[in-house]
A and B are shown apart, each in its own frame.
Chain A
């Protein structure tokens, strides 16, 4: 934004997909076809879980409105992942409406320091491994604190090409603890009254070097915790293994992370990141989205329901994007045929503990200390997970290109039969070599292992079978 001049700016992104999966009916009767089509797709591509590969293009619309000048600006965004017109039923949670609303203050330089403050509803990402996004996979390698609060960024130029950034933020929920008498339903994301108001404190040190080869590396600390007395109930609900509702401890999540990116105009963009996540009674914590998700996802998918959110997660990711045109032709122009290569790799390891149970004896009885699960029962402790992807996009005309993506996912080192592969060729159309939109047609084929399964139940069809083929038409545009 120019100083002294009030400016209105509108930017956005939209991705709209027709996507359906193809499967087979196990026992068709007369009048029923063997082949079935499912919308939404019943493939093993659950968003934000480790078994998700980002092969399905998905839906998202984001409209960003900014008004301000060089000193201050107001930023508001309208978002949805489920536009209303094509829905068969109104899914309230799919309309995110006003997702973010914050002010950005550019404070005048104080000596060598250039401070900047963002205040309001924010959701910054840390650990993005690609130049314009999170990389081949969609989980942030370090984390994303989401809430209302402040983020202060101080920039200190060490040398003309070397800059140090120090960031610090405090955040909380706006509506905090879910109402005591809330009924978990689909519209509220199965929210439980056991989710307390949670808080996030985070700090980051980032070093950036500019030049022909740009380098950036950062160390990250994020801490989320709760100390709320409203969530505790009179009695335990024995069906929720993740928490004792009548004895809710203060929870905490600690994330220590590192990331580094290198950008070279010839060799492309390389990103690497790692994080260490430690949870203590973290099941009900909402707000801090780690590599493994929020507290409930970390508990159910990474440490096991019996852990109650007590465990450790180590994650490492690599991502690389390059263009053969840039590598092989010194005078490369983007207005020409090119082959783009994208590759990604993620690995993770978990250690778990079990939850402390409340005392059951007379008044004042001590809580029952945790007893670890037997090794043959505990499928989460000491478990490795890997996945890797390779994609190549050949653009041979200004208006068309072809792409091929392959993924290998190893969700469980203790059960290798869960391993599966995905192969997805794609046709990509656009209006010019360098443009703001694409239209793509994707075919995806999943090669499942004997025991491949989703992490959550939401995409398991009634037949219990997963579809193995996908057809998707996607349009997307950014401005």
Chain B
């Protein structure tokens, strides 16, 4: 036990040292701004840095071309009550292309495949590709349905917010998936008490989602994966900001719980999103501290984060131990003016008997402690293990860079480049686990969880050539296990993007993607999704997607 504590303490020290070193190394970047700022507190607050994303922002990855959703403007006075309606639509038609026979799907009946009346080429919707949101293999290359409608009513002090969300539209369903129609999802009100110019305070009360570690400037980044955690529950969140000269100081805290828990009599199926009776009622408490610095039109923000998710519930079995997930993290965000936007974060997740921790916390898009076990710690771990996560994203507009010192408004051709990466290293008590669907005696059937390092990186470049037309290409490389490249794969995705104006809020994207799969590149099939190495993934995908935000 002492050894384990020492190892954890050592890792925590390494993370902090890395954080300090990184901050020191990027320090000179602030000096590159050319504008002299007025050294007062309010100037510092104009940068208005934040450690988390606004709950009303869609939970999706970044759009191609560096576009970011800009939502409704708040009411400016206490006496003016304003109704606001904004939203986001992403509606893709995706077709995965493969060929018969596929050992994972066809049962041969002692007959060669394809049979008369069956084509050699097969079309899959949704595509059978390694892009499941919960897995490390998720790249976000495959656009998935997302519709969000936000309704709010309020003034400059208090606002009531309700959002309706769907990840499936009924008109196109091959079968009914009730859990994908989330319905009324967020219900909360925000309070902005007028505390003067030197202190800003925002309190959120109700049911909402918070995200920490979002790589994009205004979104979840290219992978659509918060690097620290996502918290979905009912509770409170308070953020305090104050300024001194060019510095801004941010302090946030929150406490969240859930409104229901699955009982042992419930049958897990698609209709209830596979309710997990093994999870107890869970809670999250979290604190965050950040310091920001502005210089002219540039600025930076460094944050330190601590989150604890825990469950101590006697309803999920007398032998089920209390579980917890602790997350220690730091992150750094740099808005470097014409030199672009950078975000980097490192997170250390320490899970102890976390099987009983519910979906109130999501680390790397997994669902609670069980999700961590399924994807990173292993089914035999009991939810005990550690996970080191690191990642970053850098976005640069070449048009803005080369037009300096003339301001670039975006009303012209531009080349937007984005670099992004993410990695994990897991320590687990589960040394080996076995796939369900292949021979357990085979070496290939064993899946390693302990001391596994995963890595992925990518680049996307979008050239906006006309007010209505842009072309984009994205390349991704994913190594789910750096020690065994048979699981690795790459994706190349050229796109043509149509929109109604240089700065329009709509896109029609025609995309082709090709996967360069390894011999053991694994996809998830069935419900609930499980990995099956016998399924040969689709190598190609064609997609036509429409999206708009307002």
Contacts and interface: CB of A to CB of B under 8 A. Distances in A.
Interface of A: 6, 8, 65, 67-68, 71-72, 74, 76, 78-79, 92-93, 95-103, 105, 117, 119-123, 146-150, 170-183, 185, 187-189, 191, 195, 197-199, 226-230, 232-235, 246-250, 281, 286-287, 356, 358-359, 362-367
A97 B121 contact: no
B505 to A, nearest CB: 8
Contacts of B271: 92, 185, 187-188
B102 A229 contact: yes
24 contacts: A74-B87, A76-B87, A99-B169, A101-B147, A103-B89, A121-B172, A123-B171, A170-B544, A174-B169, A174-B172, A176-B174, A181-B527, A182-B175, A188-B176, A189-B176, A197-B124, A197-B126, A227-B119, A232-B107, A234-B109, A246-B107, A247-B109, A287-B172, A365-B111
Contact of A117 (B114, B504, B508): B508
A98 B166 contact: yes
B93 A175 contact: no
B172 A148 contact: yes
A300 B252 CA distance: 61
Contacts of A365: 111
A358 B178 contact: no
A99 B500 contact: no
B105 interface: yes
B181 A95 contact: yes
A120 B107 CA distance: 35
Contact of A172 (B93, B109, B270): B93
A179 B550 CA distance: 35
Nearest to A179: B527
For B112, B122, B504, which residue has the most chain A Cβ atoms within 10 angstroms?
Answer: B122
Given A148-B93, A364-B112, A119 B546 contact: yes
Contacts of A188: 175-177, 270-271
Given A177-B174, A363-B111, A172 B125 contact: yes
B172 A178 contact: no
Contacts of B116: 249, 356, 366-367
A72 B500 contact: yes
A103 B107 CA distance: 41
Contacts of A358: 109, 111, 115
Nearest to A183: B269
Interface of B: 85, 87, 89, 91-95, 98, 100-102, 105-107, 109-119, 121-126, 128, 145, 147, 149, 164, 166, 168-178, 180-181, 183, 269-271, 498, 500-501, 504, 506, 508, 525-527, 544-548, 550
A281 B270 CA distance: 28
Nearest to A10: B85
Given A65-B85, A363-B111, A232 B171 contact: no
B89 A120 contact: yes
Contact of B170 (A99, A117, A172): A99
Contact of B93 (A93, A150, A227): A150
A199 B172 CA distance: 11
A235 B550 CA distance: 51
A249 B176 contact: no
Contact of B117 (A101, A121, A249): A249
A188 B272 CA distance: 12
Nearest to A96: B170
Nearest to A79: B170
A170 B145 CA distance: 17
B506 A147 contact: no
A72 B500 CA distance: 7
Contacts of B170: 79, 96-100
